[in-house]
Amino acid sequence: MKAAPFEYSRPADIDEACALLAADDGARVIAGGQTLVPMMAMRLARPTRLIDIARIAELSYIRDDGDMLSFGSGTRQCLMERDTLVRTRLPLMACAIPHIGHAATRARGTIGGSLAHADPAAELALVAVTLDATLHYKTKDESGELPARDFFIGPTITALPMGACLSAVRFPVWQGKVGVGFHEVNARASDFAFASAAAQVELADDGTAKRIAIAVGAIADVPLRLDAAEAQLTGTTLSPEAVREAVRAALADIETVADLHASAEYRRRVAATLAARAVADARAHALGGRHAR
């Protein structure tokens, strides 16, 4: 299991990376490589050139931008895992990160790498969709941005233009009485999820949901926001029955995927359960509990 031959470049900055990308249709960006390298080893991916952005210092940062938390695309997951800003300002991400692979893969894997790979079961993709993150990219000629909801098109397919390299990901930070919940189920603790769910709520002083975001992952081609459930639950006290019914209804018409590990019906049903649990956890967390990890 050896990769096919390729050329290797280590650009000094993102502009050089984009220039290299533009020059070779077969080139691919590598950051942590925790997904790309296995695919190359199995020769399922055969880039002609790897453009290694892992050393570009300007792509590795976690920055507090007030109402946003910004990440350089090359920021390693292990740094995010230990970061105080992430823990305090993006507790949903803090909940999700320990579920990504293993410590040894988080040591190399980056936020941008995970998002650009667009695995439907990826935890960071789910968090990005839940929180309406914005993905910033550069190409040789332009810069652009895409909302997370538009970024993911299908399994390992994104809206990123040809020759583009992710530069940053920005997550809105919610203020107020905010709580989060994150659940996933898999065969073994560290596997890709069969189904996953994330929820974030902001409670009003009277305990009703002022704002709520719910999304599910791993059950369809891309992570899905449950808009109808969100609309239905906003302004309510998030009673367990109402939550259960809202997420169940929101998932009823979604075409879920089946594979060796889980049937389509299992995914739909379990996603509803996990989403309801995530909302319940988020509510409890917002009311002053600790978020569960």
Q: Rule CB under 8 A: which residues touch another protein?
A: 1-8, 10, 30, 33-34, 37-38, 40-43, 50, 52, 54-55, 78, 101-105, 107-108, 185, 187-192, 194, 259-263, 265-266, 269-270, 273
**What length does the chain have?**
293
CB of 3 to another protein, least distance (A): 4
What are the distances in angstroms from CA 281 to CA 10, 79, 284?
44, 25, 5
Comparing CB distances to another protein, the nearer of 152 and 192 is 192
Q: Which is nearer to another protein, 162 or 189 (CB)?
A: 189
CB-based contact 131:172 (threshold 8 Å): yes
CB of 172 to another protein, least distance (A): 31
- The DSSP output letter for 33 is -
Shortest distance (Å) from residue 123 CB to another protein: 16
CB of 103 to another protein, least distance (A): 6
Nearer Cβ to another protein, position 63 or 261?
A: 261
48 vs 143 by CB, closer to another protein: 48
Q: Please spell the DSSP secondary structure of 152-173, one letter per residue.
A: EEETTEE-PPTT-EEEEEEEEP
What DSSP element (H or E) covers 87?
Answer: helix 84-89
Q: Nearest distance from residue 46's CB to another protein, in Å?
A: 9
Cα diameter, the chain? 62
**Beta partners for 270?**
none
Closer residue to another protein in complex, CB, 33/179 = 33
Nearest distance, CB of residue 185 and another protein, angstroms: 5
Residue 71 or 192 with smaller CB distance to another protein: 192
Q: What minimum distance in Å lies between the beta carbon of 143 and another protein?
A: 26
List own/partner pairs for 206-210 with CB under 8 A and 24 or more apart.
Answer: 207/237, 207/287, 208/235, 208/236, 208/237, 208/238, 209/233, 209/234, 209/235, 209/236, 209/237, 209/238, 209/283, 210/176, 210/234, 210/235
Contact criterion met (CB below 8 Å) for 90 and 171: yes
- Based on CB atoms, which residue is closest to another protein, 95 or 286? 95
